[in-house]
Amino acid sequence: MKPHDNTERFARDAAIRTNEAANERVLGRMHEAYAHTTRSARLRQRPDYWGLVFESRFARLAAVTVILLALATLVGQFGALLSGSGVAWADVTERFESVPFFYASIYMKDYVLDSPRQFELWMGKDGSARMRVGTQVVFGRDGQVTHAFDIRRRCEVEPDETAANIVGILATAGEFSLETVIQSLSGGKLVDVTPAMNARAAIGEDLAVFDAHSAVSPGWVRIYALRETKLPVRLRIWEPGEGFSVDVLIAYAKEQPALFFDPQAFAAKLHEPDQTETSLAYLFLKDPGGQDVTSRDLSR
């Protein structure tokens, strides 16, 4: 196939169309405009380049193709500039380390067909942590689980193993970072990885998306961060082999009172008969927007 055949087919399939009648109308209007200008004499003495273009079918199609390709290139470049907007991974990690408190809702599956397990995590900057998983409420401090309570059986128990592992990494004072979050939630599948901007995954101007791949497994992580605040708001870990996955939604608000992280204060309420499972699961939690969290809040 000749090169001009490829060009002709591309232009014919594009959204722009041309025909002889349209060409004649364009040429007529151009000549009328030239006739009403002071430069019309000089213009008529020059070669009629537009006329030559439209007299040649191949040249017409080639011109259309060039215009289309130029527009596509400009759109692509503009999109790339828009997706970058100066948000770097270092900005996201630095901003995350500066927050005094965050809440994360974590959904984890070991296998693609498993039902997800939910972990609710509250983290304070001073190394204090509280987690709810299943029937347990777990307390941690400086990387160590201090207490775990079963709110259904109303007693202290051994902590959930996964919860203890997460708290053990996340709650270590002086080492808390977004990298430790990824390392902890991936079960060690993603270690020493540096995410890079993925412009193709960003669907809006308000989000920056970063991807990183494990060096020891086919797993990868994707982090969604707000462009304005540079705070991460969602994290997804995926392992293609068996469908191991972790989905995390992160929220930021004013820090919870010290009472919320106090296991002794929690234990003192554990056996009160008017404490329901819901009220124990969220005992001492203050909604940052002033909404009721448990039925006990409704009665106040």
In the chain, the DSSP E strands lie at 101-109, 117-124, 128-133, 136-141, 144-150, 155-156, 196-197, 207-213, 220-226, 232-239, 244-251
Task: Write the pLDDT tens digit of every residue in 242-277.
Answer: 898 989 999 988 889 999 999 999 999 999 999 999
Position of tokens 């979050």?
181
Domain 89-285 has CATH 1.20.1260: no
Helix (H) or strand (E) run with residue 278 in it? helix 277-281
Question: CA 93, 196, 116: angle at the middle one, nearest 5?
Answer: 75
Among 227, 237, 167, CA closest to 195:
237
Instruction: Please give the torsion angle defined by the CA atoms of residues 161, 267, 259 and 140, in that order, rounded to the nearest 10 degrees.
Output: -20
CB 137 within 8 A of CB 152: no
Q: pLDDT by residue (tens digit) across 68-112?
A: 444 333 334 333 333 445 688 788 878 887 888 889 999 999 999
pLDDT digits (tens, 9 = 90+) for 132-186: 999 999 999 888 899 999 999 999 999 999 999 888 776 554 555 666 666 666 6
Q: What are the structure tokens assigned to 268, written together? A: 């003192």
Predicted model pTM = 0.65
Terminal-to-terminal C-alpha distance of the chain: 82
* % of residues, the chain, pLDDT over 70: 59
Evaluated on CA atoms 96, 99, 105, 111, the torsion sign reads positive
Strand partners for 136: 133, 150
Residue ranges covered by each domain of the chain:
3-84, 89-285
pLDDT of residue 156: 97
